[in-house]
Structure 1
Amino acid sequence: MKNRFLIKVQCFLILFIMLFSNSGSVLGAIEAPELKAASAILVESQRGQILFGKESRSRLHVASANKILTGLLALEKAGSKLDTQITISKNVTAVEGSKLNLEVGEKYSVEDLIYTVILTSGNDSAIALAEYVGGDVQTFVNMMNDKARELKLKDTNFTNPTGLYDEAQYTTAYDLALLIRYALSNPSFDNIFSSQAKLWRHQGKVEIMTNSNNLFWGYDGVDGGKTGYNEIERQSVITTATRNNMRVISIILDSPEEDVYEDSTKLLDYGFANYKTGILVKKEQTIETLPVGDKTIDLISPIDVYYTFPIGQDYIKDFEFKTRNNIELPVLKNQIVGAMKYVLKDDTEITVDLYPSANVYSSVDMFSTLVKSMVEYKDITILLLILVGIELILILLKVLRVLRKVVSRLLSKSKAK
């Protein structure tokens, strides 16, 4: 009886360990959030993997999209010259809505105006930047729509740089995620978007502008944000946050004012509790072998390749190995000779270029390759042979001198005896 009891205890312990070892990583998982927002999306920033969506393709009027693209186009025009001064025109001061009360004739740097657009949604700053980039507002709006088409924002149309309401103006959470991912690839934009505060010099005074996204001060890991609305009871919040090497983009659109940050927190919590970013292909690990001529080549990735997946799943649906055509020896380490394409369960495709782990030469061809090179570079070969000959003569002369000295010493010793 005692043995049977012990066996039962052992079986229970084994089952307990198995359950926790297999599912312990997902014990903290939470259900998909119920949001008050009309539309929302959560994406991983590096590859754009969609982690959650709610009506993410629904067309809405989102003022923040206009401000983000306005700031981005200004950054792309200015390049490294962010200190370029912009003179405020009469047209700038006539704009409605949220503004900084810029005055005609005042000058501000491109960088400072972009900060005001992203951090405080200044409409007058947006018009000033539009005139700087496009010359006039309508030309700039055309540029905005050209950029939208370039980025394949298929459900987006702009009619002004400010985001002031126009029924012909719309975008979607999905398109906005594409725009944000592209914008974050610009280091200057990422730096501005991640700023919590900025000094603002205006009319001889120095003020502190703070980012209007309150999650900067209330959620661990937040590293970017923008807010906006056309009607105060329907607000939008864009937030980026990073934990454990995974950066996500949370987009909440048309949420009630009292719920917008709760929605954002729920969405971020869901992402971090249910997903993680890990290594798909480890640096210098042999992924495949390839026979070429009389050699077998180990194929590797020279870098770690990452992907995002639900915790507790490998998330790989399929993979395919392809090689370059007509590969011949020698094959060098810096040559791409193949690729491994991984397809994830969300249909994300990740292609990993594969390289030889070492330079590989044919034992048969090494001598012929050397001879061919010598014939091809005949003049250099002759010069090298002459230099080698001279070096051998010099070595021989040194050896003869040493021998002569040795013989002389031996003769001297024999005479002394």
Structure 2
Amino acid sequence: MANRILIKVQCFLVLIIIVLINGISVFAVSEAPEIKGVSAILVESKRGQVLFEKESKSRLHISSANKMMTALLALEKVGSKIDTPVTISKNAAAAQGSILNLEVGGKYSIQDLVYTVILTSANDSATALAEYVGGDFQSFVNIMNDKARELKMTDTNFTNPTGLYDEAQYTTAYDLAVLTRFALSNPYFEHMFSSQAKLWTNQGKVEVITNSNNLFWSYNGIDGGKTGYNEVERQTAITTATRDNLRVISIVLDSPEKSVYDDSTKLLDYGFNNYKTGVLVKKDQTLKSISVGDKPIDLISPIDVYYTFPIGEDYIKAIDLKLKEGIELPVLKTEVAGTMKYILKDNTEIGIDLYPAANVYSSVDMFSSMVKYMIEYRDITILLFILVGIEVILVLVKIFKGLKNALTKVLSRSKI
């Protein structure tokens, strides 16, 4: 019996040694989820690291892409003036599909129209925004496609601002993730995208419109969402969620109505259960030490740098260091001295500018700098010399008085 226990213990120790030697992670990433949607992708929001994908480059007709792009372009057009009024044309009021029955000639703010596009996919609102931004239908479509090219959405083509079906119109889950990440960098878009509900006034009636993404009310950490479809059994769900400093974007395309939220939940669970965001490089951490002349210099990152990685792995494939050519003294801590590039296993590249931890001067440089400063700020230098001279005189007077008092005491004692 004792021998059997000993053998089991020995086997366990051997297994531990093998794991340590071969670097096998005990925190293996769980099996990828089964997604019923035709296409899907899960990305980390800050750097766009792809955590999961299924047919992410397949071209599909996705109306939500049109709505997202239309809303973004409208907000970029007005900047901070989101209360800018838009007059509703007959063309906008006659829009087909999902609508809010906007009043012809009525005035609605850019902010309110964008809210309705994101929360309820209102086609009349999207048409009104397109006419305001582009002046006419085709001009706005050109702006949409120009923006897509700017963002390198290489598998996207728009033919209208609403997303109504057109066989010449397409995008991909990957491109939609690119668009979502960029749109979230706009604070107004991000705020509206994260809204669950909004008071809406139309033709004198006040009502509450709510976000069509039901995960707001069923999944912990949801902080953004949009849904849409052209056919009931081909649903789109775009969802963002944050837990433990990790924010992810889940995109499910052409999923059956009964499974679109189940697909989204599986994606989000997969991301949060298997990945985390942590510090890659700490602020003021010495990344490289060099010598310039006879002076040692530590190169640091002035900020904390974060990245996302599978739990239990460092996820770093390679590190590339490039120092600035011809570094000479003086070396100032405000000037970039090189770059440290971390290449992750998913080929994400993270470049970190390296700065000297402190200013480093040669002896000649310090003297030259002092002389140059004194010449450049002559008036201040003269004032400093005067102040120093006065201080020296005061000190000497104090010393003289002290000596005089001491001498007087000695003389008075000798007379006694």
Q: TM-score, normalised by structure 1?
A: 0.91
| Count of matched residue pairs | 413
Q: Does 1:323 align with 2:323?
A: yes
Q: Is the 8 A contact 2:78 2:84 kept in 1?
A: yes
What's the counterpart of residue 164 of structure 1?
164
Matches within 5 A, 1:139-154: 139-154=139-154
Deviation of 1:238 after TM superposition, in Å, equals 0.7
Deviation of 1:251 after TM superposition, in Å, equals 1.0
What's the counterpart of residue 225 of structure 1?
225
What's the counterpart of residue 347 of structure 2?
347
**Aligned partner of residue 280 in structure 1, secondary structure:** strand
What's the counterpart of residue 79 of structure 2?
79
What's the counterpart of residue 7 of structure 2?
8
Q: Which amino acid in 2 is paired with 1:54?
A: K
Q: In 2, distance between residues paired with 1:222 and 1:168?
A: 33
Shift of the 231–50 alpha-carbon distance from structure 1 to 2, 3 Å rule, reads: same
What's the counterpart of residue 27 of structure 2?
25
**Aligned partner of residue 124 in structure 2, secondary structure:** helix
Q: In 2, distance between residues paired with 1:297 and 1:207?
A: 64
**Aligned partner of residue 239 in structure 2, secondary structure:** strand
* CA deviation string 1:316-370 (max 9, x = no partner): 1111111112212222322221111111111111111112222323356434543
What's the counterpart of residue 361 of structure 1?
361
* CA deviation string 1:124-153 (max 9, x = no partner): 111111122222222222211111111111
What's the counterpart of residue 190 of structure 2?
190
Matches within 5 A, 1:145-294: 145-294=145-294
Shift of the 249–292 alpha-carbon distance from structure 1 to 2, 3 Å rule, reads: same
Shift of the 19–79 alpha-carbon distance from structure 1 to 2, 3 Å rule, reads: farther
What's the counterpart of residue 390 of structure 1?
390
* Cα RMSD after superposing both structures: 2.5
Q: Which amino acid in 2 is paired with 1:111?
A: Q
Q: Is the 8 A contact 2:25 2:313 kept in 1?
A: no
Q: In 2, distance between residues paired with 1:414 and 1:125?
A: 107
Matches within 5 A, 1:57-136: 57-136=57-136
What's the counterpart of residue 306 of structure 2?
306
Unaligned runs of 5+ in 2: none
Deviates more, 1:354-363 or 1:179-188: 354-363
Q: Which amino acid in 2 is paired with 1:205?
A: K
Deviation of 1:204 after TM superposition, in Å, equals 2.5
**Aligned partner of residue 181 in structure 1, secondary structure:** helix
Q: Which amino acid in 1 is paired with 2:48?
A: G
Q: In 1, distance between residues paired with 2:368 and 2:262?
A: 72
Deviation of 1:7 after TM superposition, in Å, equals 3.3
Unaligned runs of 5+ in 1: none
Matches within 5 A, 1:20-59: 23-26=25-28, 29-59=29-59
Q: In 2, distance between residues paired with 1:152 and 1:361?
A: 45
* CA deviation string 1:200-248 (max 9, x = no partner): 1223332111110111112222111111111112111111111221111
Shift of the 356–97 alpha-carbon distance from structure 1 to 2, 3 Å rule, reads: same
Q: In 2, distance between residues paired with 1:16 and 1:326?
A: 51
* CA deviation string 1:301-323 (max 9, x = no partner): 12221112222322211111111
Deviation of 1:166 after TM superposition, in Å, equals 1.4
Q: In 1, distance between residues paired with 2:403 and 2:390?
A: 20
Q: In 2, distance between residues paired with 1:412 and 1:248?
A: 90
Q: Which amino acid in 1 is paired with 2:224?
A: G
**Aligned partner of residue 25 in structure 1, secondary structure:** coil
